[in-house]
Structure 1
């Protein structure tokens, strides 16, 4: 029974934090420590429930993804597949090269706390140093901006830094609106997360057992439902509040877990 409760809690945490600039990886690692749900089985579970969050974005942005499949490229074509590929390239290349190092040395409470603080400072800097908005909507984002935002996404390879936090901050520093940067982050995250999670799942396949199927399925469903709600809510928040508020939350969370765990 405790495993099922842990699965629901972890699924809710994943769905709530995956697309917010607060680091889902950091929250999962820290929550796992508090629940004493750690080890190879727990890591495999975390990989599985990420697919629930990915599925939520696919459902919410299904029309946008369908348009991307047309591969319309050129001036005036709006956001297209090339934008996504350009944004994926930097982090994708670094992830392949550094995957083993990151998994072995960077996945732990201490590195997460560093990532929470560092990512928070970047978000505050983005709020204070952001450029004049030249890309108000998704379709206004240029190829150059897409690639540069992808370079910021490399920072998210450090657990706790946050994929959405780094890319939204990068987008704002490059002249996109908070809303456009957030939505672009969602679209780019789907193929990156699917590829990374798929790679991890293949490497962890020995920890996938029939007896754990209910546990994994419950966590995945919880992540999917909560992520659907979180994404819609977050987009509305991006129209009203500054990114810095999420940075202050990160600082408070890091301080709290520093005294609880370390």
Structure 2
């Protein structure tokens, strides 16, 4: 009886530890998915210290699928700007400006879909290592600083989402292709690209969020297809916990970012990326 109680206590303790790890990973996802600081760079470090007792195949899928929580946060926060239908009597059923926005998002998704769907696994195989991640962290950190210094006294040509043309949307989508290289940061690549083209920080950030919706839903669905949609009860609990935590933290992160860039530029994120890149290099050099 005593041995049985000890075993039960050990199981409960292990379950709590695993739950705590999932919560930490969900927090990291919720913060790093929307701030232009690279979720991959942080996950590489987190994976060194926070290892779930799950298969490598499940963990690869887990890191993608918990992004669903993050993307649902975007939909919840920007619902009025994203839902294209109106049920009010004095308004037309279809909101033309929002439908136009969705078509621009679709146009922007095309480059990443064309390159990402057939080549993503090969790109990960070639570039998913700490050296590439650290290098891209540093390069894009420098780019953020240089772009902000260049734009310091400039007036952005595109101050409102309605001014964003299909051509500009396509160009931003081309920059998103760069985020297929681990460590780049999807939000980092699209924000850098949008600002180079001439969008304001607010428009760049919002369009980045909207662009993430089809991209991340698609990536999650593909990973689930590869995994087979067959989960144990424990795996489902881990997935849903990670998604819920990522959802809550994403709302806080997005609110912070949108408030921050109304008064500040992106340079602080550039400096942070450079420091993180150096930390990644130093850590793996010392431990190899």
**Bigger CA drift: 154-163 or 35-44?**
35-44
Determine if the alignment matches structure 1 residue 32 to structure 2 residue 56: no
Give unpaired runs (5+ residues) of structure 2. 1-15, 87-93
Q: 1:79 Cα shift? A: 4.9
Judge which range, 186-195 or 21-30, deviates more: 21-30
Equivalent pair of 1:135/1:180 in contact (CA under 8 Å) = yes
Q: Which residue is 2:25 aligned to? A: 10
Alpha-carbon distance, 1:34 to partner: 2.3
Query: Is 2:263 the counterpart of 1:240?
Result: yes
Task: Give me the whole-angstrom Cα distance separating, in 2, the residues matched to 1:176 and 1:197.
Answer: 29
Distance 2:79 2:217 in 1: 16
Corresponding position of 1:251: 274
Pairwise CA distance, 1:40: 2.0
SS at match of 1:160: coil
Shift of 1:207: 7.1
Asked if 2 retains the 8 angstrom alpha-carbon contact of 1:78 and 1:140, the reply is no
Equivalent of 1:214 in 237, 240, 252:
237
Deviant stretches of 4+, over 6 Å: none
Q: Aligned pairs, how many? A: 259
Offset at 1:149?
A: 0.9
Structure 1 distance, partners of 2:76, 2:19, is: 26
CA distance in 1 between counterparts of 2:19 and 2:196 reads 42
Give TM-score, length-normalised by structure 2. Answer: 0.83
- Residue equivalent to 1:157: 180
Q: 1: CA distance between counterparts of 2:128 and 2:69? A: 21
Gaps of 5+ in 1: none
State the Cα RMSD in Å: 2.2
Q: Does the aligned pair in 2 maintain the 1:178–1:238 contact within 8 Å?
A: yes
CA distance in 2, matches of 1:7, 1:116: 25
**Shift of residue 215, structure 1, vs aligned partner:** 1.6
Per-residue deviation, 1:71:
7.9
**What secondary structure does 1:123 align onto?**
helix
Q: Deviations over 1:83-141 (max 9, x none)?
A: 11121111111101312202323223232112211221222232234464111122221
